[in-house]
Amino acid sequence: MTYSSYLGDVPDPAELSATLARANHFTLDELAENRAGRIASSQMLGLTVQAMRPFWTALMGLAGWLLFLLVIKVFVPDILLTIASMTLGKSVGALFILITLGCLFAVLFGFFRSGARTVRLVSDIAQGKAACMEGRVWAARRGEDAHGMDKLHGEKLESFHYVLNNEYFEVRDLVAWEALAPREVYRLYFAPRSKLLLSIEPVSSTQQASVGA
């Protein structure tokens, strides 16, 4: 696991807030709703997409592999396929079957992974309440073993997180990961059961002093 290091001077809170909002795709109106302890109605679709991301990613991988097989079937002459089969033996067919099974396994894994989070998200949406944590936040990135075709190439699936009090909140991409100035104090809003990020804002030194008083 690696942690980000903010390049250059840390911007003022207003600039950092704007950068975080753009990178994490939330608006000031949605942030205001989260501050009031509510999940904004405009955030619910985005939360659903985020919860289902592992499934859709795996499904797109399977679709890409099936499209590749279709292209071979339609455009590659049968004589070339016969020659390849005679030259390489049964290993070609075994490899194709292995990749297909790997893609199917990735879809099933993504479905169950997304399904568990989606069930918790349904409860969050039904309640409509946003939770809040405050403290020093780090931006972490982790590499996980890929499934399906990518696994054969030894590729890794990268995920990006904001880490607060040993809680990991997944963010969309590298842009959101790089937007965070680490070791600063933030107020982080999230859906309490699914632990999906809603919004985040820096806490200025003035606000910290008033809270401490």
Segments making up each domain of the chain, as ranges: 2-212
Using pLDDT thresholds of 50, 70 and 90, give the confidence band for residue 32. Answer: very high
- CA angle, corner 203, sides to 200 and 208, nearest 5? 145
What CA–CA distance (Å, rounded) separates 104 from 147?
A: 9
- Name the DSSP letter for residue 12: P
Under a CB-based contact definition with an 8 Å cutoff, are residues 208 and 185 in contact?
yes
Lookup: tokens for 123: 């409860």
Give tens-digit pLDDT for 66-113.
887 787 777 767 666 666 566 666 666 677 777 777 777 777 777 766
Buried b (16+ CB within 10 A) or exposed e, 187-203: bbbbbebbbbbbbbbbb
pTM as predicted:
0.67
Under a CB-based contact definition with an 8 Å cutoff, are residues 132 and 188 in contact?
yes
